[in-house]
Structure 1
Amino acid sequence: MSRHVTFMTIDDAGHYSPEQRAEIIAAYPDHEREARARGIPVLGSGRIFPVAEETIACEPFKLPRWWPRIGALDFGWDHPSAAVELAWDTEADVVYVTKVHRASQQTPAMQALALKAWGEWLPFAWPRDGRRETLEGACVALAKQYAAHGLYMLTSHARFPDGSVSVEAGLMDMLDRMQSGRFKVFSTLVQWFEEFRLFHRKNGQVVKLRDDLMAATRYGVIMLREATVHPAEFKAARRPVGQSDPLGAFR
């Protein structure tokens, strides 16, 4: 007999009004709220991001045209390939997750086709395994296969400015942003929050299961320095000489 587990939050209980939901959540003890209202179980040795969803979720809005953006990919086949778009408010140093894509058993051609709809100018960060050659790609490195299908891939894999690729450092960078109010996610990105709720450690190690969008987000945050502004929007947003220029750092 097959089985399926469906996770639901109190927000899925349509017979409650927003006010009633807020009252119910407020009635729970602080340490039980995530489990009771969001269906988040106690996981292994702990959640990697012990942050309340409402502190990072925000309503979608039209992005200012001068905010630089970057895409980021996590490769997969049986476990999904995943991608995110990040927008960066450089003046406040706040990162926003604005788009996500996740799909299993899709070739680079199909993935590239979907992601180019975000803008062919958008640069994409990618992990070290993108240098791996695949038989399906006629022994061509995976990142080059995506580039061959028109996706704008960065020339090198995601890494810190000193060349390191520490997973823990990337996770701590994300957590620091979350806890300091410098990391936000559009509230409509259901798949992202599904992974966020279950992203955890076991025996101190990151559990590499249903973490595809989390990984893609980490690569994007690491490579924020490569984020760019849409060329047409860059030109339109420039200010006359003498006026404050929000794009001055991207000349």
Structure 2
Amino acid sequence: MDAKTKRELLSATQPYLRDARSKGTPSVGEGAIYPIPWDEVSCDPFPIPNFWRRAYGLDVGWNKTAAIWLAEDPNTGGIYAYSEYYRGQQVPTMHATAIKARGDWIPGAIDPASRGRSQDEGKKLLSQYRGAGLLVKPANNAVEFGIQTVWEMLETGRLKFFSTLHNTANEYRLYRREKRTTDLTEKVEVVKKKDHAMDALRYGIVEFSKIATVRPAGEEFTGSGFTPVDKRAGY
């Protein structure tokens, strides 16, 4: 392979796999999943134009439910994570009310398994959220595929976060892999703690091109009819 092809392949490879793929060096892959400092992937908030497509990812659970809203700059194809919802120990209708307040016309992608529940229970939760008025569809929840998709966008500068997403920032810094050893095997796994926003981000990014839409014409306010409090985010 020529140098250009090698650079392109490595840029699309997560850091913990680069030595293994380029040099044949074994790697257990421990450490930060997105090893780019938060300051380099965040930016100051700015007004989101009405003609930008939007969508959100939603990770649901009793201890914590998280949603991340995304908007795409049509000129560059870059995506900005511009708002977050982060709250625990509430019923779906309460979460849905808060989510709709950010724009009940915005579609979302939800984890079909819903935090380790069975697929049947996940379908029931999906039905509950739809019944509460959310425009949600089941997301592709293949973890490694989602992480790789997010990573490629981060490394190429096509994904940025508003600096006001404090819960997302905290999870981003902690999101990591750890080596786990049993009697006969050794595995490197994603640490499933404080990763609700990171999961919501995966769902939103993976499904964005399929579900994202622009604000309907004449829809200047939220479905409840109130004037937006935060004009930068549009709700």
The TM-score, its normalising length taken from structure 1, stands at 0.68
CA RMSD of aligned residues (A): 2.0
Note if 1:232 corresponds to 2:213. Answer: no
Verify: 1:201 aligned to 2:177, yes or no.
yes
Deviation at 1:197, TM superposition (A): 0.5
Quote how far apart the aligned CAs of 1:90 are: 3.0
Aligned partner of 1:50 in structure 2 is 35
Q: Is the 8 A contact 1:71 1:125 kept in 2?
A: yes
1:63 match: 48
- Structure 2 portions without partners, runs of 5+: 1-28, 180-187, 221-235
Displacement after TM superposition at 1:56 (Å): 0.7
Question: Runs of 5+ in structure 1 lacking a partner?
Answer: 1-43, 160-164, 236-251
Q: 1:5 maps to which residue?
A: none
Q: Tell me which residue corresponds to 1:222.
A: 206
Residue of structure 2 in register with 1:118 after alignment: 102
Q: Does 1:166 align with 2:142?
A: yes
Moved more, 124-133 or 109-118: 124-133
Correspondence 1:150 to 2:150: no
Question: Is 1:192 equivalent to 2:192 in the alignment?
Answer: no
Distance 1:140 1:128 in 2: 7
- Give aligned-pair identity as a percent: 37
In the alignment, the residues of structure 2 paired with residue 81 and residue 149 of structure 1 have an alpha-carbon distance, to the nearest angstrom, of 15
Is contact 2:112–2:126 with CA below 8 Å preserved after alignment?
Answer: no
How far off its partner does 1:166 sit?
A: 2.5
**What's the counterpart of residue 124 of structure 2?**
141
Whole-angstrom distance in 2 between the partners of 1:196 and 1:177: 15
Within the candidate set 55, 71, 89, 1:87 is matched to 71
d(CA) in 2 for partners of 1:45, 1:148: 41
Tell me the alpha carbon deviations over residues 181-210 of structure 1, each in whole angstroms, 9 at most, x when there is no partner: 101000011111000010000112100000
Bigger Cα Rg? 1
| Structure 2 counterpart SS, 1:71 | strand
Q: Tell me whether 1:175 sits opposite 2:170 in the alignment.
A: no
Which segment is superposed worse, 210-219 or 91-100? 91-100
1:55–1:181 contact (8 Å) kept in structure 2:
no
CA distance in structure 2 between the aligned counterparts of 1:234 and 1:90, rounded to whole angstroms: 20
Other-structure match for 1:99: 83
* Shift, 1:158, TM fit: 1.0
CA distance in 2, matches of 1:180, 1:49: 13
Show the counterpart of 2:113: 129
C-alpha distance after superposition, 1:13-39 (max 9, x if no partner): xxxxxxxxxxxxxxxxxxxxxxxxxxx
Q: Hey, what's the Cα distance between the residues in 2 that align with 1:177 and 1:132?
A: 29
Is the 1:71–1:86 contact (alpha carbons within 8 Å) kept by the matching residues of 2?
Answer: yes
Residue 153 of structure 1 and its aligned partner are, at CA, apart by 1.5
2:100 alignment partner AA: K
Query: Number of aligned pairs?
Result: 180
User: Conserved in 1, the CA contact under 8 Å of 2:171 and 2:197?
Assistant: yes
3-state SS of the aligned residue for 1:110? helix
Distance 1:120 1:55, change over 3 A: same
